[in-house]
Amino acid sequence: MATNQQSDPDELTDRQQAAVETLLFSLADDEFVLAERYTEWQVRAPTLESDLALSNIAQDELGHARLWYDLLTEFDYTESELLFERDPADFTHAALVELPFADGDWADAIVRSYLYDTAEQLRLAALEDAAYTPIADRIGKIRSEEAYHREHAENWLERLCADPDGRANVQAATDRLFPHALALFEPVDAEHEATIREFGLRSESLADLRERWLSITVPLLDSLGVRPPVSADGSPPELPVAYGRGGEHTEQWPVLHAELTRTYRELDRTNTRTITNDPDHAR
C-alpha cells in the first residue's frame, strides 16, 4: 500500500505529473485504438450474436478509454487535444491494437482479445493501489467488465481450436500477434517508468507483469494445441521493429487515425462537444 497517496492533481510534483500523464496516455490509447479496430467487425462478424458480443466489448473499451482520458483533462488537456488534434505520432498504444484485421479473420480478433485482455487484467490489478488515487478509484469499474472479455475470448479460443482449420487460423494469428503483445509490457520511456514505480503508481514492474502474462498465455495456448512463438527455454520472441508504445508505430496507424478523425476534419471542427458529465462530478 502506497504511503504517499495523492488525490489532488495540483499537489503532484512535475516529475510525478509527467509520469501520471504518461501512464494515463498509454492506458487510454490502448483501449481507444483497440475499440476502434473492434468496431470494424460490426455487421461483419460470423453471426449476429458474435457481432453483438464484440461490439459490446468495443463499447466497454471505449468507456474505459474515456475514464482514462477524462483524468488527463485534470491536467488541462481538452478532449480535442487528447484525440482529434493530437499528432498520431504522439499516441503511445501498443501496435498490437492498431494492426488491421485481414478480411474475415475472426481468429485474429479472438487471439488479439485474449492476449490483450489477459495483459489488461494483470496491469489493472497492479494499479489497484495507485498512489494517485483517481487512478485507483476507476479500476474497480473497469475490472468488473474485463472478466466478460476474457471469458468471451477464452470460450471462442477453445471452440476455434476444436477444429483443425480453426486451430490453424488461431496458430497463424498467434504467430503474428504474440510478438506485438509483448509491447504491452514496454515502457513509454525509462525515466517516466522509474517514477511510475518509485511514486507507487504501479505495484509491479513491467518485467514481472510480462513474466506473469507469459505464465498464463503460453500454457493455455499449449493446452489448445497452439504453439506460442517462445523458444525451448520459454524466452519470448523479439519485439517487432514497429511496436508502438515509446517506439515507432506501424504504417497502418496514420491510416487508421486519419479515418477516425475524418468526420471531425470534414466538418471543420476545432473542438469537440462533451456529451457526458465528468464521472467524478456527475452526482
List interacting residues with another protein (CB under 8 A): 47-50, 52-53, 56, 148, 151-152, 155, 159
Place of cell 491510416: 255
- Minimum CB distance to another protein smaller for 101 or for 148: 148
- Minimum CB distance to another protein smaller for 8 or for 163: 163
- Minimum CB distance to another protein smaller for 8 or for 151: 151
Q: Give min distance, CB of 148 to another protein, in A.
A: 7
Residue 111's nearest CA partner among 224, 250, 187 is 224
Contact between 82 and 91 (Cβ < 8 Å) = no
Place of cell 483517481: 134
What is the C-alpha separation between 176 and 50, in angstroms, rounded?
Answer: 23
Q: Give min distance, CB of 79 to another protein, in A.
A: 26
Contact between 156 and 117 (Cβ < 8 Å) = no
- Minimum CB distance to another protein smaller for 129 or for 145: 145
SS3 235: coil
Residue type, 216: I
Q: Can you say how many angstroms the Cα of residue 157 is from the centroid of all Cα atoms in its chain? A: 20
For 107, the enclosing helix (H) or strand (E) is helix 106-125
- Minimum CB distance to another protein smaller for 34 or for 53: 53
Q: Give min distance, CB of 163 to another protein, in A.
A: 11
Q: Can you say how many angstroms the Cα of residue 69 is from the centroid of all Cα atoms in its chain? A: 13
Long-range contact set of residues 166-171: C-beta below 8 Å, sequence gap at least 24? 166/107, 167/224, 167/225, 167/226, 169/105, 169/106, 169/107, 169/108, 170/107, 170/110, 170/111, 170/224, 170/226, 171/226, 171/227
- Minimum CB distance to another protein smaller for 69 or for 106: 106
- Minimum CB distance to another protein smaller for 152 or for 257: 152
